[in-house]
Structure 1
Amino acid sequence: MTIRVLLADDQALVRAGFRSLLARSRSHDLVVVGEAATGEEAVRLATTTHPDVVLMDIRMPGMDGITATRHIVADRAIPGCRVIILTTFDTDEHVFAALRAGASGFLTKEVEPGELRRAVAAVAAGDALLSPGVTRRVVEQFAHRQGPAPVARERLTALTSREQEVVRLVALGLSNDEIAARLTISPFTAKTHITRAIAKLDVRDRVQLVILAYESGLVRPGDAS
């Protein structure tokens, strides 16, 4: 399977480095289909090159990576396109904004080559939560600032009590297998509950489930898994 990747970063040297790292993949056929130096260019190239994954820098001149992400994930012409945010620090507040905008995960620019290639392959396959622990920490750090939102709480009423429990465990960073063990169900059943919750809540992926769980108050900062 060929995975098409678009690189978006205002530094040509950074783009060249990521292109080189992706080209070394042995287990996946990763092909860079375009390079963008601005958010506007990233949006334009995404609509013309139809990448599976966009590696998106947050801070670029003009349209930033957050706005570009929002445009790309909302484009019905490229429904399968997913965005991985690139950042210097995993505590960057902009990372949370990018996740809310629809990014499927994030990586720091100091990522190891093997981890980068695995992350791209995972996101292309639909596995949104790249690093549950780190993603949870970022969401937890910033989501609680506004407190639980009534609209988010209302959305959760569409779920059964079991589906809400599964969403809570997803937000706490548990994998499908760990959720299955906790609830004494099969991993397939756990995955089915997650898929149904995503559909009922009309969210893009597991990352969006995590954000909604915190914004609704279903999970609160400091909750233990």
Structure 2
Amino acid sequence: MIRVLIVDDDPLLRAGLAMMLGGAPDIQVVGEAADGTQVAAMVARHVPDVVLMDIRMPTMDGLTATEVLRSRPDAPEVVVLTTFDADAHVLRALRVGAAGFVLKDTPPAEIVAAVRRVASGEPVLSPTVTRRLMDRVADSGADLRRTGARERLALLNERERQVAVAVGQGQSNAEIGASLHLSVSTVKTHVSRILTKLDLNNRVQIALLAHDAGLLDPPEARTS
């Protein structure tokens, strides 16, 4: 069973999500929270695999709660619930370790599928969607972020760097293996090493870092 914690300050939305997810044979809603301040205790008590996290809550917002949660060892995956798909808050949530986001008006079957994907270790949005989100959200700190991203990626060897770029391009492990002439198991090992070396949570963060460093730009647009 996939254990899910729902965090949202709207009791009607929580009830709707609980009813919808509870109808799936492989998903169990283990708890509900109305504010980010309740998340740590609820996670400790119920040990969920996935947390559905609203961004805007009155006392502690979902961004802070996600950052606190993802800094813990053996943290559950976090899927952000949002009303807008081009929200700077969504991008911040991805940067601190959320595995993706779903809109609150997403069809029920897609929310169930998203929970299943993150529980199996997959992101719930493609790097293409991530890049589109970043392009639509104004970012005044882009130059500083690019410098920092390049310094962090300098910790990788050449092969790991190639794998990081491929992850950022949205390639699956099988596609990365085919393009770099590696076995899928070797690709997985490289991805794990990248996550460890760069202290990242998931593939979405690898994609974000590659984007920030300018490695996903067209060659003519890259600067040294």
Normalised to the residue count of structure 1, the TM-score between the two structures is: 0.87
Give structure 2 stretches of 5+ with no counterpart.
none
What does residue 118 of structure 1 align with? 113
SS at match of 1:7: strand
1:59, CA displacement in angstroms? 0.6
Output the aligned Cα RMSD. 2.3
Give structure 1 stretches of 5+ with no counterpart.
none
SS at match of 1:158: coil
SS at match of 2:188: helix
Residues 60, 133 of structure 1: alpha-carbon distance in 2 compared, 3 angstrom cutoff: same
How much identity, in percent, do the aligned residues show?
Answer: 47
Partners of 2:91 and 2:219 in 1: how far apart? 17
Partners of 2:57 and 2:217 in 1: how far apart? 33
Residues 212, 89 of structure 1: alpha-carbon distance in 2 compared, 3 angstrom cutoff: same
Pairwise mapping of residues 8-157 of structure 1 onto structure 2 (< 5 A)? 8-26=7-25, 29-76=26-73, 79-142=74-137, 145=140, 146-147=142-143, 148-157=145-154
The answer to whether the 8 Å contact 1:144/1:220 transfers is no
Residues 123, 151 of structure 1: alpha-carbon distance in 2 compared, 3 angstrom cutoff: same
Per-residue CA shift, 1:154-177, capped at 9, x if unaligned? 111221212111111211222222
How many residues of Structure 1 are paired with residues of Structure 2 in the alignment?
Answer: 219
Pairwise mapping of residues 206-217 of structure 1 onto structure 2 (< 5 A)? 206-217=203-214
SS at match of 2:53: strand
Residues 161, 73 of structure 1: alpha-carbon distance in 2 compared, 3 angstrom cutoff: same
Normalised to the residue count of structure 2, the TM-score between the two structures is: 0.88
The answer to whether the 8 Å contact 2:97/2:205 transfers is yes
The answer to whether the 8 Å contact 1:129/1:207 transfers is no
Per-residue CA shift, 1:57-99, capped at 9, x if unaligned? 10111111000111111123xx141110011121111100111
